[in-house]
């Protein structure tokens, strides 16, 4: 929220308080990047799970492979959903604050 | 500007958006797994009393369910508590949000739960490396390694971006737990899979070396997973709940370094009277006896933190859990070195005394310090004025304490009796008792042990209900949060 609002003006125009808000904005950006990396990590994990399941020589590895694929798929989906949910929440808050102003 | 600088200028601390969501998840998971672990334990205790409880299925026999019980208690319950509280403590004491973002912390949580479920399923399906407290096969070991590295990245990353100049002692204990368990896990689980697409693997070690590596791991799993990590919990939550500073910060540092240095050498005491060289057994015994020093130093530090606040034990059952846990810590860390002395070990080894000793540590120390922390942290995390029912907390305390007393006294009696029966000779030099006579003799104690376990399980169920009702209850105003939480800006 702070990052979205503060990014509308140049950094040098911001008062001291908003300068620190800008650094918080960078922190939010870093967090989004980290979340993306974790989300992309799910792709190779899901493929690995499918590979293990397809070539498994015993029931345990077959179960593990399918479970890993399902886990990675569901977790990746939750990362994507969480990302949109957070953006929606920020957008709603900004609109609410703009309404008050 | 650091928090100290803010405080010096009288300025309010900057608000940090802590990642409490992952802590909440771990606390709920810990409660769930605690009930599972205790329930499976009771079932196994019933199997030992009446073997017909094996039911004739391979997946319900003692051999397959036993690692489910130990893994659920140590790794699922204990591990979830350690993950959750370490994430809580490192954020609060460093005044920084968890490093790595929400998705990474969530991945640690869900990945760890995935590991627990997969490990439990593999045990009941009959797949095991056959290594004490390290039963999962190679593919699950690799999964846990990945999670552990990411966990270390989050924890160390948060320490590195801290806003406080000092690293609080609880974080030192958590850090030692994370780093040492990583080394232990990698060393102990070196194995060769039969096939990349098969679950079965064989240890890279053999014979005595394999036994040595296994008990180097096994004893230090107790030392660093079940002791160092939970000491981190003690050093944060007892001062918080008592609203008093740590009795001696210098003693806590001494406690830390001496524990870290000594514990790692003590493993060979599990292999007395084996093919392991005598000098190695002696080394393990000597270091075990030396462990009295840090263990009791830590216990005294924990107990003396209550100086001037002992009256709180009457009104705060959560703090009562924590303080009793420290008492059990002192007791079981006294008993352990005694049992490591070779002559005592000749009586106690392979008997139920060992089972009693382990449970006085896990029920009395690990579970009680966890319950104390949970009773403190749940109202703080869910912004409630307190737990739903203090009376229920008190009932939990007394039922669980009674359960531990039943458990450990019956196992002492059974163990010493077994040891004496096994070594008894008649005048002609023949064994006086057959093995089955010793089994029959301990039967009443097995039933008392089951009663103790059921008491402990009942207490955990009370706690789960109390926690559920607390979370379901109304949010409180900030002014009604625990005083210590308010002081910390929580």
Are residues B118 and A64, on separate chains, in Cβ contact within 8 Å? Answer: yes
Contact residues, B window 118-137, toward A, CB-based 8 Å cutoff: 118, 121-122, 125, 127, 137
pLDDT at site B9? 59
Q: Which residues sit opposite B191 in a β-bridge?
A: B203
Can you tell me which residue has the tokens 């106690």?
B348
**B333-342 as b/e: b if 16+ CB within 10 A:** bebbbebbbe
Are residues B197 and A57, on separate chains, in Cβ contact within 8 Å? Answer: yes
- Assess whether pLDDT exceeds 60 at residue B263: yes
3-state secondary structure of B113: helix
pLDDT tens across B317-330, in order?
Answer: 999 999 999 999 99
The predicted model gives A68-90 an average pLDDT of 93
Are residues A32 and B125, on separate chains, in Cβ contact within 8 Å? Answer: no
Q: Where are the beta strands (DSSP E) in B354-490?
A: none
Rounded to an integer, what distance in angstroms lies between the CA atom of residue A56 and that of residue B76?
27
Q: Where are the beta strands (DSSP E) in B134-227?
A: 191-193, 201-203
Task: Report the largest interatomic distance among the alpha carbons of chain B, rounded to a whole angstrom.
Answer: 85
Which ipTM did the prediction report?
0.88
pLDDT at site B130? 92
Q: Do B370 and B422 contact (CB within 8 A), yes or no?
A: no
pLDDT tens across B336-359, in order?
Answer: 999 999 999 999 999 999 999 999
Q: Which of A24, A26, A32, A61 to mutate to test the interface with B (most CBs of B within 10 A)?
A: A61
Q: What is the mean pLDDT of chain B?
A: 93
Q: Do B433 and B424 contact (CB within 8 A), yes or no?
A: yes
Closest in B103, B195, B198 to A38, CB measured = B103
pLDDT at site B19? 94
**B449-472 as b/e: b if 16+ CB within 10 A:** bbbbbbbbbbbbbbbbebbeebbe
Rounded to an integer, what distance in angstroms lies between the CA atom of residue A65 and that of residue A83?
27
- Assess whether pLDDT exceeds 90 at residue B287: yes
The predicted model gives A5-12 an average pLDDT of 40
Closest in B101, B143, B198 to A34, CB measured = B101
pLDDT at site A13? 41
In angstroms, the separation between the Cα of residue B198 and the nearest Cα of chain A is: 5
Q: Which of B1, B11, B103, B161 to mutate to test the interface with A (most CBs of A within 10 A)?
A: B103
pLDDT tens across A22-74, in order?
Answer: 666 777 788 889 999 999 999 999 999 999 999 999 999 999 999 999 999 99
CB-CB neighbors (< 8 A) of A20 in chain B: 14
Residue B431 φ/ψ, nearest 5 degrees: -60, 135
pLDDT at site A30? 83
Contact residues, B window 4-43, toward A, CB-based 8 Å cutoff: 14
Are residues A58 and B199, on separate chains, in Cβ contact within 8 Å? Answer: yes
pLDDT at site B173? 97
Asked if B431 is an interface residue toward chain A (Cβ–Cβ < 8 A), one would say: no
CB-CB neighbors (< 8 A) of B197 in chain A: 52, 55-57, 61
Q: How much is the pTM?
A: 0.91
Q: Where are the beta strands (DSSP E) in chain A?
A: none
């Amino acid at each position: 929220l702070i990052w979205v609002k503060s990014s509308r003006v140049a950094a040098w125009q911001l008062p001291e308080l908003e300068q620190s808000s800008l650094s918080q904005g960078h922190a939010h950006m870093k967090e989004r990047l980290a979340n993306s990396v974790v989300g992309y990590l799910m792709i190779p994990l899901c493929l690995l799970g499918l590979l293990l399941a397809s070539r498994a020589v015993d029931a345990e590895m077959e179960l593990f492979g399918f479970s890993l694929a399902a886990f990675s798929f569901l977790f990746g989906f939750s990362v994507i959903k969480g990302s949109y949910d957070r953006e929606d929440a920020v957008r709603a808050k900004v609109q609410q604050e703009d309404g008050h102003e | 500007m650091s928090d100290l600088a803010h405080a010096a200028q009288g300025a309010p601390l900057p608000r940090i958006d802590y990642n409490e969501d992952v802590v909440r998840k771990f606390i709920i998971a810990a409660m769930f797994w605690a009930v599972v672990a205790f329930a499976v334990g009771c079932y196994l205790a019933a199997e030992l009393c009446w073997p017909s409880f094996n039911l004739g299925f391979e997946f319900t026999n003692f051999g397959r369910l036993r690692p489910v019980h130990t893994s659920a208690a140590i790794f699922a319950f204990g591990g979830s508590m350690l993950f959750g509280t370490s994430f809580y403590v490192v954020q609060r004491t460093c005044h920084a949000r968890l490093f790595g973002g929400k998705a990474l912390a969530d991945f640690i949580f869900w990945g760890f739960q995935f590991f627990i479920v997969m490990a439990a399923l593999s045990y009941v399906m009959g797949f095991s490396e056959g290594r004490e407290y390290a039963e999962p096969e190679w593919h699950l070991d690799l999964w846990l390694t990945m999670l552990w590295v990411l966990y270390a990245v989050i924890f160390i990353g948060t320490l590195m971006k801290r806003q406080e100049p000092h690293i609080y002692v609880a974080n030192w204990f958590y850090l030692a737990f994370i780093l040492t368990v990583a080394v232990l896990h990698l060393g102990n689980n070196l194995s060769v899979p039969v096939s990349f697409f098969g679950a079965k693997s064989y240890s890279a070690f053999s014979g005595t070396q394999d036994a040595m590596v296994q008990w180097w791991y096994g004893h230090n799993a107790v030392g660093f997973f079940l002791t160092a990590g939970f000491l981190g919990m003690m050093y944060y939550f007892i001062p918080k709940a008592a609203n008093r500073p740590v009795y001696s910060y210098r003693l806590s540092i001494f406690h830390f370094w001496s524990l870290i240095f000594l514990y790692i050498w003590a493993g060979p005491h599990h292999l007395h009277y084996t093919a392991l060289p005598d000098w190695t057994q002696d080394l393990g015994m000597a270091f075990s006896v030396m462990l009295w020093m840090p263990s009791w130093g830590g216990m005294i530090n924990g107990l003396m933190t209550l100086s001037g606040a002992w009256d709180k034990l009457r009104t705060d059952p959560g703090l009562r859990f924590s303080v009793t846990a420290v008492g059990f810590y002192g007791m079981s860390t006294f008993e352990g070195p005694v049992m490591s002395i070779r002559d005592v070990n000749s009586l106690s080894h392979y008997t139920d005394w060992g089972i009693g000793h382990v449970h006085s540590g896990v029920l009395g120390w690990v579970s009680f310090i966890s319950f104390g922390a949970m009773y403190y942290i749940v109202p703080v995390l869910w912004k409630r004025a307190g737990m739903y029912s203090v009376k229920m907390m008190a009932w939990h305390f007394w039922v669980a304490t009674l359960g531990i007393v039943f458990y450990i006294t019956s196992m002492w009696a059974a163990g010493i009796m077994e040891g004496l029966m096994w070594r008894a000779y008649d005048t002609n030099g023949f064994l006086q008792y057959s093995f089955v006579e010793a089994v029959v003799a301990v039967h009443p104690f097995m039933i008392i042990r089951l009663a103790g376990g059921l008491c402990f399980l009942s207490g955990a169920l009370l706690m789960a209900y109390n926690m559920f009702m607390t979370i379901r209850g109304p949010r409180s105003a900030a002014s009604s949060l625990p005083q210590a939480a308010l002081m910390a800006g929580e």
